[in-house]
Structure 1
Amino acid sequence: MAFFEVKSGALVSLQDLHPSSPFFKQGASIRIIGKLREYSIETGLAIVVDGDSILKVSTEHLRDLTFQVGSVYQFIGELLIQPDNEGVLQARVGRNVDGIDLNLYHQSLLLLKQFQANHLNNPAT
């Protein structure tokens, strides 16, 4: 019997998701937050934005999630790199997170990155 390991989604801001990013690789398991700019029920594609950064999200595996343009969503899934070097997140989890303070969220991501960088450089502390 084969077992499929589901990896946790690394916290990534849309600004940090670009071709030179270590997270921008085929099959990377990531977690992102963005405001829904567009949604097509026919294709199941959502376009989320955070500042000037944009990401397409495939929602075909999500059930019981209502999409509202202008709302903020969190998605966890695997990044699929298209032939044109565009990333599309294949979402396996999605939820509406309206009410989240995006500025505070970004500050916490910066603090987390600083902690992880310090911890990786000094594992004994």
Structure 2
Amino acid sequence: MAFPAIKSGELVTLKDLHPSSPLFKHGASLRVIGKLQEYTVETAIAIVVDGNAILKIDTQHLRDLSFRIGSVYQFIGELLIQPDDEARVGRNVDGIDLNLYHQSLQLLRQFQADHLKNSTT
């Protein structure tokens, strides 16, 4: 029996996840970074923020990850518009320079756009 391939998760910022964004698609495999604002053990729901952008993440399938309010985490999972978002991978990334991370993400997107443009011409 063949299993569907697990996607790597497209690098996005929380600010990218708004209803008018092409990245805001049900089932999209995403990789996000945010500062943990709230975590509820009973529901395994984490709320992460990046600036004024907020994302609620279901962490029930994550093991061996301790959550600390104020720490920065990276999650990979599929975007479920309804119900809550569920991550399949999470890790603490305290010490990451979020400004540099955002700059490198912009450069990566520019490179990918240029590469796609050059491969079609």
TM-score by length of 2: 0.94
Q: Over aligned residue pairs, what C-alpha RMSD do you find?
A: 1.4
Stretch of structure 1 that moved more, 26-35 or 110-119: 110-119
Q: Could you say which residue in structure 1 is the equivalent of 2:99?
A: 103
Q: Does 1:40 align with 2:40?
A: yes
- 1:22-62 per-residue CA deviation (whole Å, 9 max, x = no partner) reads 11111100000000000000111000000010000100000
| Alpha-carbon distance in 2 for matches of 1:103, 1:43 | 31
* Cα offset, 1:4, TM superposition: 2.5
Matches within 5 A, 1:42-81: 42-81=42-81
- Among the aligned pairs, what percent are the same residue? 74
- Spell out structure 1 runs of 4+ moving beyond 4 A: none
User: Where do 5+ consecutive residues of structure 1 fail to align?
Assistant: none
Q: Structure 1 length as normaliser, TM-score?
A: 0.92
Superposed displacement of residue 2, structure 1: 3.3
Is it true that 1:82 corresponds to 2:82 in the alignment?
yes
Aligned residues: 121
Please name the residue that 1:29 is paired with.
Answer: 29
Q: Does 1:117 align with 2:113?
A: yes
SS in 1 for 2:79: strand
